[in-house]
Structure 1
Amino acid sequence: MSDKPTVLVTGGAGYIGSHAVLALRDAGYPVAVIDNLTTGFAWAIPDDVHFTQGDIADQPLVEALLKEQNVSAIMHFAGSIIVPESVENPLKYYHNNSAKSRNLIESAVNAGVKHFIFSSTAATYGVPKESPVREDSPKLPINPYGMSKLMTEIMLADVAAAHPLNFCVLRYFNVAGADPQGRSGQSTAGATHLIKVAVEAALGKRSHVSVFGSDFDTPDGTGVRDYIHVSDLANAHVLALEGLIAAPEENYTLNCGYGRGFSVLEVLDAVDRVTNMTINRRIEGRRAGDPDSLISDNRKIMAQFPWQPKHANLEEIVNHALAWERKLTDIRGA
């Protein structure tokens, strides 16, 4: 038996959640997963992890699970994440990301859960006037996705002020790559992440990669983003949990990124180098609301926790994504 507290991972069959499960287990934490498998995959959950197929909004189910598994901490990844879809269907995002999170937080309070780590996003900043962007920069989301996540951040702060629960909000920048040991990766069909799309194109699963906008105020005219390896991000969650346990009166809101950016063309050039081929690129119009550059100021997380990124190399990120994409072909037989 572990002397470490049990952690419930919501959305643990999804991309980032499944990597958090691996990181927690590698660090010796007992883990339970709840996922409705809308976008996740049961095969992504290790056989020895307690799995409940269900919805985080189902409070009787969740509260029974929290008590049965003696859960002390929740890592909350479950939600919807596609920005254009949030603009077309805002009610889906306010339901899945805000209303369901409210139910989950209430279940946590009712079950006496002590620690809560929330998967948030740089989309809470909207189009920042400064880059790198700091945690105290204005939060002005320009789409329902960012707003739905910001609403959950606000709920957590209010609940933590009223109940014996502390929290850490982690605002992700562009998550990419896959588990270096090949245990998990980005598996969602039709994913919109650039590196995922690019490695699919390199393996012949797509005819081209669309480059949305070539007239940004950046060195090569394409948008610049801060790409973080999913395993480094998962490790940040484990360190955040340890920070919450060590300081139960403290709450944290922290950026998760490397503090440097790459343009779309630089990413595609890296994929070309790794694969020794040339991806077909198609220049298209800008997408509404895309900032020129979105780079994290990550000094706060580096100072707060002993977080040392191990995979902050673009070609390594691409290599891991490519290896997973090949493995996914074998898993699916397609």
Structure 2
Amino acid sequence: MIRPGRCWILSLCYMSKLATAKPSIRQRFLAFCASLVLLLSLSFMLWYMMVRPCRILATCIQAKLLYPTDVRIGAYYQTSLAHIYATKLVLTIFRRVYPSAPIFVYIDSDGGHPFDWNAHHPIVMLPFDARLRSAVSHGTHFMTASSCVAYVNRIIKAAQDLDWLVLLEDDVWVCNRIDAAALLHDMNGQCLAKYDVNVWGHMIPGDCYGGYGGFVLRGSFLRRMHVDRSYIHDILAKIRRPIASDELLSALFLRSNGTIGKITDYAEEMTTAAVIVHQMKTFYHLKTTCSAELNERV
């Protein structure tokens, strides 16, 4: 194999020899070939020394942007512990995927809870606030602007140091790691629900809402989102009923020019390809309250 360095030396020697004599046509052709070899060798060395490392660096940067490994993700979980076995499953499955991600837990009750939270650390137990108690027996609904503001501010506080915040509920399973590159919106999920135009009118700049179980919220957007108490008060006066937490969050997102969109990893039923699964109510009927029995069965 001829090395580029040897080609340069031979080419230079041959051309210097020709410079001292009158070259023939054959010698001129050979000189041209030698010059071409020299030029190609220099080009190859330039590519190897500069272009190739730059391409490798660009590939690494692209991979870092598309598939970041240091994405800070956490979860907010408001529960009444009415379905304690389902709660156990939600936390256990999430922990298998994200062993060190923080989970902010708020229990919608001021009573005791026979549950071994230590098995799911890091858990941040949020203090009880009567304003956050749901106005209905199922779901999370609020009657007053004060309750709405307290709920939203608690979610914003949970996302202070996070890139993404997952909204967990008793029927939400996070089965695999979430692809951050697929999270293109400020609120990511399924977006099947629609605002009732006859009720909401022009209170919001959009018709689709999310914010229910399994949705993934952008932390940076939450930190700059404007929580307007008077706007929330106007909404409650307009709809004349308790407002659901997902309606509330989506209305505030849209009012702050946020985006709500779909991700393919979200599903309303268990599938092999689903990363986030909603409506997993299969275990609601199990009324187990003993922590030891829960740990044994999962």
- Larger RCO, structure (CA 8 Å, separation 6 or more): 2
TM-score, structure 2 normalization = 0.36
Q: Which has the larger radius of gyration?
A: 2
TM-score, structure 1 normalization = 0.33
